[in-house]
Amino acid sequence: MDAVNPATDEQLDSYEEHTEGEVDDALDRASDAFEEWRERPMRDRERLLSAAADTLRENKREYAETITREMGKPIDQAVAEVEKCAQGCDHYAEHASTYLSADHHPSPPGTTAKTVYEPLGPVLAVMPWNFPFWQVFRFAAPSLAAGNVGLLKHASNVPGCALAIESVFRDAGFPEGAFQSLLISSDRVDDILADDRVRAATVTGSGPAGSAVAATAGEHLKKTVLELGGSDPFVVLDDADVADAAETGAWARNKNGGQSCIAAKRFVVHTDVYDEFRRRFTDEVESFAVGDPMADDTDLGSQAKPDLLSDLHDQVTASVEAGATLVTGGEPLDREGAFYPPTILTDVPEGCPVDSEETFGPVAAVYEVADEASAVELANDTEFGLGASVWTADRDRGERVARRIDAGCVYVNQLVKSDPRVPFGGVGDSGYGRELAGDGIREFVNRKTVWVE
């Protein structure tokens, strides 16, 4: 399992995959740890999560450099990702006991009826490379707080991140086996999920990956949460603050090199403001500095892998050949590393790749629509349903339009983001279940009814 810097093509390190015996030992450790961890008082678990937050902050530059070297995001964005993980740990350190307090129900006089929330056991997390720390911590913090233990199967191009995350929990004082990273290939996931010692699974990644895990989990009647792809619309209505929408939209498409499920991907713009938005939006994306991800003034680093850049460029090329207009970008940069510039396409034909597929990189499709109804119709013209953004000067109008868009979360006059305080997840081909907030911590628990006469 090789870690390669996508900005330089340099091999960083090579890791041995865990053998069958090592994985079996890890599952035994997880089972043993769960029996002890589930009995820990909630206050102890919260205290250890707070210690994990401290560990993250104390070593944030070291962790950020590992992120940047393995998957190419700019170092300042990597530092911000580690800080967000610390915030997530802090959130559950403060609120886990409230989220999991018993719910009382009406019952006959002299009886007590309530729902209590008890952990399920070892949970397998299959996680992606694009936010290699945050995607893991938004699962791990609530799940560990609930009394579960974690088994991480991380993406094969970020093994250093996987081991660093395991070390965070170890250094914070979590018991042995409470959180372990398994360095394994994807074709070994089914066998692990089928093992009786694993009680549930969560997946963030592609649709095929989620479907495969869900099928195996369903066969063995195990709970799953899936956070899959997205093709988020960014709707700009005729009364929007166009300058603000263009500035925020440029960042919403290109943050993290555009490699985000919740990135704005389809820009749906009312005809009355279309020309101004396109001009401002183009100026914004052309101002971004693409270069060395270790430099503090870089806005976009490299794409995570050369083959991903090639796939993205194929989507752009096929869309232009189908009739789309290339406004800016559209060619890999002529330099070492997997660098692709911010790219804008207009006059996008229905059914071409940038219209019908998820583009996982800095490529924006911009559409012109005649009215609000057409904007909503186009926003919903996708099999995905992860997030959406609506821009308007009228907050009531924004909320009304938000309610008409089929997505797991809609932000008005803001880019789509995940936040520990609110549930996160999608509908349709974007998956099911929720992460974060109270909904997230209650995904992997037994909602047990206790009736006492």
pLDDT digits (tens, 9 = 90+) for 314-351: 999 999 999 999 999 999 999 999 999 999 999 999 99
State pTM to two decimals. Answer: 0.97
How many H-runs (helices) and E-runs (strands) does the chain carry? 15, 18
Active site annotation includes 261: yes
Q: Report CA Rg, the chain.
A: 23
Active site annotation includes 227: yes
Task: Give me the CATH topology for the region 2-229+428-452.
Answer: Aldehyde Dehydrogenase; Chain A, domain 1 (3.40.605)
Q: What pLDDT is recorded for position 215?
A: 97
The CATH number of the domain covering residues in 232-381+387-412: 3.40.309.10
Contacts made by residues 166-170, CB under 8 angstroms, sequence distance 24+? 168/52, 168/55, 168/56, 168/59, 168/63, 169/52, 169/140, 169/144
Q: What pLDDT is recorded for position 10?
A: 96
Q: Which of 261, 352, 435, 443 is catalytic?
A: 261
Q: What pLDDT is recorded for position 291?
A: 97
**How confident is the model over 150-205, as pLDDT tens digits?**
999 999 999 999 999 999 999 999 999 999 999 999 999 999 999 999 999 999 99
Domain locations along the chain: 2-229+428-452, 232-381+387-412
| H-helix or E-strand spanning residue 112 | strand 112-119
- Per DSSP, helices labelled H in 297-427 are 306-321, 353-356, 372-379, 395-404
* 21's tokens: 């015996």
Contact at 8 Å (CB) between 284 and 247? yes
Residues of the chain scoring pLDDT < 70: none
Q: What pLDDT is recorded for position 211?
A: 96
Q: What pLDDT is recorded for position 365?
A: 98
Could you say which DSSP state residue 381 is in?
Answer: -
Q: Which of 46, 81, 227, 358 is catalytic?
A: 227
Axis-axis angle for helices 42-58, 159-172 (nearest 10): 130
